[in-house]
Amino acid sequence: NIVGNLFGAGKMFLPQVIKSARVMKKAVGVLIPFMEAEKAAKRLADPTAAETESHAGCILLATVKGDVHDIGKNIVGVVLGCNNFKVVDLGVMVPCERILDEARKCKANIIGLSGLITPSLDEMVYVAKQMEKEGFKVPLLI
């Protein structure tokens, strides 16, 4: 919130926001093994825990075809992961067909698309139209 508030107030600029995001990503990278180890220990202590362990939902994230900018997507993924969402991150330059196929496979509750450059908007519109055409009912976050 601090970085977002400073950016919104014009007291922090994009290069600083990007640097903050990179620091956050590295910090989370250090924490993830500990978080996974804690989950594994719980499963070992109670083998039925895996059956009852639940997530707040599953979100599929992808940077659309034609774009490699993923800092925003990565931040969203980290925040949702820390809030008990199962996050399926397909990476960058992901074509529409793969996004929709993977969303079906993981039974995504939400599909999140990322992109920075203007042509990405056209690809996002294409994905939205394909979702509608194929009968997807899950929310699309852009």
Residues designated as active site: 67, 69, 120
Q: How many helices (H) and strands (E) does the chain have?
A: 6, 4
Tell the residue number behind the tokens 């074509």, with chain if given.
95
Three-class secondary structure of residue 64 per DSSP: strand
Q: Which residues contact 79 (CB under 8 A, 6 or more apart)?
A: none
Token reading at 82: 């820390």
